Structure 1
Amino acid sequence: MENHHKTVIVTGASTGIGKAIAALFLEKGYNVVINSANSENLKQTYETFGSPANVIYVAGDISNRKVSKQVVAAAVEKFGSVDVLVNNAGVFAPKPFLEVEENELDRFLGVNLKGTFFTSQEAVKIMLKQGGGAIINIGTVLVDHAIAGFPAAAPISSKGAIHALTKQLAAEYGKDNISVNTIAPGIIRSPLQSKIGIENADSLAGLHLLDKVGEATDVADAAYYLATSDFVTGETLNVAGGHTAGHQFG
């Protein structure tokens, strides 16, 4: 289903998982629109890709609805379609439940939920006119498999809302040939780990039955599969090395 005329939007694409997803779709011949709140990193990523004619970048905080509109409008203006949307932009930080301030919860809900919600809203408008498309949301395995020693109620609440949104949108738009799925990563080697104070991601390998952490390319491969599948919607694909299936013991 490789098509040099298809267009993918990837939010949060300047580093880590988002960058890997954008790179894979670019390799597969897609037109690619990348977004990030960090304009400097985003420009560097664009240049790392070789500044190709079939890639454009739109900087801005996706929690701002205007940015959602700008990203989708840029895709349509430059490439004429929005065939795939990957809602990867997100913020995540552990903090004990009783210490979470209102502004912190608002930030998680703003970027993770509102960013996904409103960017999807803009993309669906275009997909309905085109006769179909695919939306891929990035959640977390922690929605279904919490860890007592990792207090993160605020960000996980926002990610749980994304999981629920996925199923509802899949139900509403299945008849319109729009698939909506979630990828729920486990521990993935990416810049996020150091941002939340984990200096050695491999130290968490034991959380996975495969006793290793994932790579950003593992999530990218899953995103490409969901984008090109004609018969998968409303699902949560765990890319987590068995994190939700069981535990290591002894």
Structure 2
Amino acid sequence: MVKTVIVTGSSSGIGRDVARAFVERGDNVVLNGRDEDKLAEVAAGLGAPDQVAAVAGDIGIPATGVALVRAAVERFGGVDVLVNNAGIFGAKPFVDVTEQDLDSYLNGNLKGTYFTTQAVVRLLREQARGGSIVNLGTVLIDHAIAGVPASAALVSKGGIHALTTSLAAELAADGIRVNAVAPGFIRTPLFGDGDEAATGRFALLNRIGEVAETTAAVLYLVDAAFTTGHIFPVDGGYLSGRAA
């Protein structure tokens, strides 16, 4: 059955690849990003105009989630899947974090995920056919690194992990499954020009990950009908041990 999928933050990195994968398997996708021109470029690059819609906007603003749902209904007749990928990450020593810094992470990560999910869940309940929500967290919630002081970012991502398990319980009776993918170090624009060799040694597989490997986990969780409340690490064994 063809699904309709909303993917936030789909103008680059993990979100863009997730959108590609859904389109390639024949699903409809509603793209989202803050840069309208870049979003249009991604939509055109997917090469399937009948399967793609795009809504530019900051998910930290609740109205953006409402607009994404509206676009999905008007273009494709409903929603089956939400992938909450949009987010920001960065390192800054704890004592240097400003209120503006913290608000930026809470709005861009936690608040955006929370209110976009809220808009989608309202529709999923109205449709009464269940659904699947996949959030993007990080393995650094469970195993921080002294050299990556990212308390502000991790507080917001930790909230996403908590939201995942809480909603899995609350929404199970509606047939709505809620899971999360927790990436390790992945080759995306957020990784930038980081030292791949040094960073790769944090994982048992002795390398950083690729976006397609994160996408595979998202697709699995979307289709895994007996899985909910699961935080799925995609980290090359980072949580389990060290390559050396």
TM above 0.5, yes or no, is yes
Moved over 3 A (4+): 198-203
Q: 1:90 aligns with which of 76, 80, 87?
A: 87
Alignment of 1:12-161 (within 5 A): 12-130=9-127, 131-161=129-159
Is this contact kept in 2: 1:7–1:82, CA < 8 A? yes
Is this contact kept in 2: 1:10–1:21, CA < 8 A? yes
**SS of aligned partner of 2:82:** strand
**SS of aligned partner of 2:241:** coil
**SS of aligned partner of 2:155:** helix
Identity value in percent = 48
Shift of 1:199: 3.6
One-letter identity of the residue aligned with 2:49: P
Distance change >3 Å, CA 128–CA 202, structure 1 → 2 = farther
Aligned equivalents of 2:92 and 2:236: distance in 1?
Answer: 25
One-letter identity of the residue aligned with 1:53: D
Aligned equivalents of 1:100 and 1:80: distance in 2?
Answer: 44
Aligned equivalents of 2:4 and 2:32: distance in 1?
Answer: 14
1:191 aligns with 2:189: yes
Is this contact kept in 1: 2:9–2:32, CA < 8 A? yes
Shift of 1:52: 1.4
Shift of 1:248: 2.9
1:231 aligns with 2:226: yes
Q: How many residue pairs are counted as aligned between the two chains? A: 243
Identify unmatched segments of 5+ residues in structure 2.
none
Q: 1:244 aligns with which of 236, 239, 243?
A: 239
Shift of 1:201: 3.2
One-letter identity of the residue aligned with 1:125: R
Is this contact kept in 1: 2:72–2:79, CA < 8 A? yes
One-letter identity of the residue aligned with 2:198: S
Q: Deviations over 1:203-237 (max 9, x none)?
A: 31101100011110111111111111110000100
One-letter identity of the residue aligned with 2:115: F
Q: Deviations over 1:74-115 (max 9, x none)?
A: 111111111000000001110000000101100100010011
- Quote the RMSD (CA, aligned, Å): 1.0
Aligned equivalents of 1:111 and 1:232: distance in 2?
Answer: 27
Match of 1:166 in 2: 164
TM-score of the two chains, using structure 2 as the length reference: 0.97
